[in-house]
Amino acid sequence: MKLLHENDVSLPLVLLWGSFGGVCSATVYLLLQWIWDHFLPNAIWFSLYHDTQVILLFPLIFAMFGFLAEDLICKEKKTSEIWIGIVSGISTALIFIIIITFHIIISESKTFPSNWLFFVVVILVTSITMQIIGAWFHEPRYLSHIDEKNKMNQCSITSKICKYKIFFLTILMILLIPPFLLYFGICMGIIAEQPECCILLDSVDVSRTTPHSIHIVLDPHPVRTYNVTRDIRIIINDIDVSNQSVITEKGIQGTIEPPEGLTYQKSASVTITGDIVAGNETAPVHLIILVTYPDTITGEIVCDRDI
């Protein structure tokens, strides 16, 4: 099956090449995530570096596969760069998305990002566009009449490896250098893992309404995202009273309103009533509020006081 009659281009071969590109791209993406999660698990303050790394890395990878497709697949002087870029780009994007989706499904969180559809569209458009560009600029038009002797010299495997090593070296440098520079900088104390100017503290207001009840109001830092599911634990005298179900299971004499507990949104509040919170200025109870953020995957104490 031919893409164009005048070209010696096999559609299954282009699809296979694009699928191979999808596997390689997904592998690089998962490796990149593993590097950041393993070496810089709490470095959310450097997310701009991570995003810039992704923006530079994957268009380059997609362009490289388009460039290689034109060289490895096409045999004729007249080539179908656009068709190769479109078909290979689509198959690369689809395989990439399938692998990442499967990885999310089998992971512990099983939660798709809120911008997942946007991510899919960006990958598809970028893969197609960059592979078309890579295939189109494989042989610049002003060099299209190079002599046959030079063409034969370029066909050897050694020549091809030398020809493309700049691609592989650039990809390797973009993949490894930024996170490891940050990692070693943090380990040596040159770079602060959590700069003081970037600490995002949530506001918590706690008041005692009666000797047997307390009122808690949470205001997340404006930079953080509201209305996102977060694990919020309320601990009083080392006893978890985060929601009514927990209170009932522990056989505690007390209630929390609303029953689902404290939510992560602006001016969210709960009132806890019962013997568990009974106290006064002379004999206060100790209150801890612990919030686990999905962006840091760690718990942060936003309140630790006697009330």
> What pLDDT digit, counting tens, does each position of 239-276 carry?
999 999 999 998 888 899 999 998 878 788 999 999 88
Pull the structure tokens for residue 67.
Answer: 């460039």
CATH number at 255 reads 2.60.40
- Can you give the pLDDT at residue 24? 95
Calpha distance 92→110 (Å, rounded): 23
Chain CA centroid to CA 281, Å: 47
Same domain (yes/no): 43, 182: yes
pLDDT digits (tens, 9 = 90+) for 110-148: 667 667 888 899 999 999 999 999 888 765 443 444 444
- Give the model's confidence band at 32: pLDDT under 50 very low, under 70 low, under 90 confident, else very high: very high
Whether 193 is in a domain gets the answer: no
Whether 91 is in a domain gets the answer: yes
- Give the model's confidence band at 42: pLDDT under 50 very low, under 70 low, under 90 confident, else very high: low
What is residue 146's three-state secondary structure?
coil
Which residue's structure tokens are 């689809």?
Answer: 94
More confident residue, 143 or 31: 31
Spatial contact of 166 and 173, defined as CB atoms under 8 Å apart: no
With b for 16 or more beta-carbon neighbours within 10 A and e for fewer, the 157-167 pattern comes to: eeeeeeeeeeb
pLDDT digits (tens, 9 = 90+) for 230-242: 678 899 998 999 9
Closest of 192, 224, 239 to residue 294, by C-alpha: 224
Work out the angle at residue 267's Cα, subtended by the Cα atoms of residues 263 and 272, and round it to the nearest 5 degrees: 60
Same domain (yes/no): 173, 242: no
Please state the rounded mean pLDDT for residues 58-78. 77
More confident residue, 160 or 6: 160
Per the DSSP assignment, residues forming a β-bridge with 254 are 274
- Can you give the pLDDT at residue 293? 62
Please state the rounded mean pLDDT for residues 44-62. 86
Q: Checking phi first, is residue 11 left (phi over 0); if not, alpha (psi -120 to 50) or beta?
A: alpha
**What is residue 275's DSSP assignment?**
G
Q: How many CA atoms within 13 Å lie on the side-chain side of 34?
A: 8
Give Cα separations from 10 to 7, 20, 83 (angstroms): 9, 15, 11
Calpha distance 34→50 (Å, rounded): 12
Whether 1 is in a domain gets the answer: no
Same domain (yes/no): 136, 172: yes
Average pLDDT score, the chain: 79
Per the DSSP assignment, residues forming a β-bridge with 279 are none
Residues of the domain holding 114: 11-187
Per the DSSP assignment, residues forming a β-bridge with 170 are none
* Burial class of 13 by CB neighbour count within 10 A (0 to 12, 13 to 18, 19+): middle
Whether 4 is in a domain gets the answer: no
Count of domains observed in the chain? 2
pLDDT digits (tens, 9 = 90+) for 160-218: 556 677 878 888 999 999 888 888 887 887 776 655 444 456 778 899 999 999 999 98
Same domain (yes/no): 241, 170: no
The rounded radius of gyration (Å) of the Cα atoms in the chain is 28
Same domain (yes/no): 44, 183: yes
pTM of the model: 0.58
Work out the angle at residue 27's Cα, subtended by the Cα atoms of residues 26 and 32, and round it to the nearest 5 degrees: 95
Whether 266 is in a domain gets the answer: yes
Name the domain boundary from 163, 187, 211.
187
Same domain (yes/no): 292, 223: yes
Residue 139's CB: how many other CB atoms inside 10 A? 18
Whether 6 is in a domain gets the answer: no
